[in-house]
Amino acid sequence: MEFVLPFILVLFASFFQGTFGLGMKHIAPLKWEAWWLLHSFVAMIFVPMVWASIVVPDLFDVIAQTDNAALSSAMLYGFLWGIGGILFGVSVEYTGISITYGIVMGLAASMGCVIPLIQIDGAMNQPAFPIILIGVTLLLVGVAITAIAGVQRDKKQTDVDQTGKSIKVGILIAVASGVLSAFLNVGFSNAAPVADIAINQFGAGPRDASLAAWVVVLIGAFAMNGGYALFLLVKNNSWSSYRVSNSGKAYKWAILAGVFWFAALGVYGQGAALMGSLGPVIGWPILLGLALVISNIWAYRGGEWQNAQKPFKILLAGLIVLIIAICILGYANY
């Protein structure tokens, strides 16, 4: 059970991660910045702090006793991840969702695994090291195949004329977004001192202590996301969007998507904590790989693969490779 429970938790986290994006289909009639400010506050401040405060009663004492350098580092990584999220949206305008999503998911999964791995003393001497590399390599292959399937589907369903220059610019932006998106997990890994204090000085369990680590990382993440949304609200003078009629559904989805978004990270963090020192290394690519599988299941149910039989077969091949990669990564922690 000690081996199975962490992966059950990561599986549940993947469901939340692959599902929360459904809420972004229900932004109207709110302006994007109005919706995003509410969503990011719920996802990055309200839910993490409430959940962590319940399971770690002395949460703010834990944070206060953590070394300032560790806190600053974790928050900085969260802030950098926020920049990656903004760049994701910019890249989509140049290259489309499929290419951007494939590049960002691949880089976020691999870099978010490799960076915490090389930060571990003697990482290359660990028996699991070559197995992890094989798993991550296969994961990248699986993401690339699903991206190709998405590109071919989009060609069948749309007539978008893009210049070579715009695609190159979009790809460069997507690469930057993918690298920065990995820093969310790097921040979680570097927030380990917060969890250690919660465990050793305040008696919290490893699963619960992981939530205290997320609170610190996501303060930095909200500084970027909430700050950018506020900037747009001021720049566009779009505060009146909050008073628009028939916006109840948009409010509901902003909150629900925020709950799902942090549920993914919170449950993932609990599973990673139970995996030991390699938890953030192995759990992160499993989380993103399974989330990609789940998001495509939702896309299929939503009719996004209709009249695209050949691309769908390519997608299935990519998902099979992803599942094999996830099994290999799981074995690496056995």
Q: Could you tell me the two tokens for 166?
A: 């715009």
- Output DSSP code: residue 333: T
Crossing angle of helices 206-236/32-41, nearest 10°? Answer: 160
Burial tier of 126 (Cβ tally within 10 Å: 0-12, 13-18, 19+): middle
User: Tell me, what amino acid is at 199?
Assistant: I
Q: Which secondary structure element, helix H or strand E, spans residue 142, and what is its range? A: helix 129-157
pLDDT on residue 79: 97
Crossing angle of helices 97-118/279-301, nearest 10°? Answer: 160
pLDDT on residue 127: 80
Report the alpha-carbon distance of residue 64 to residue 62 in Å, rounded.
Answer: 5
Q: Which regions in the chain score pLDDT beneath 50?
A: 160-161
pLDDT on residue 159: 53
| Tokens 């994006």 belong to residue | 21
> Global pTM?
0.84
Tens of pLDDT, residues 215-273 = 999 999 999 999 999 999 999 999 999 989 989 999 999 999 999 999 999 999 999 88
User: Tell me, what amino acid is at 207?
Assistant: R
Q: Is 225 helix (H, G, I), strand (E, B) or coil?
A: helix
pLDDT on residue 104: 81
Radius of gyration from C-alpha coordinates of the chain: 20
CB under 8 Å to 16, separation ≥6 — which residues? 260, 261, 263, 264, 267
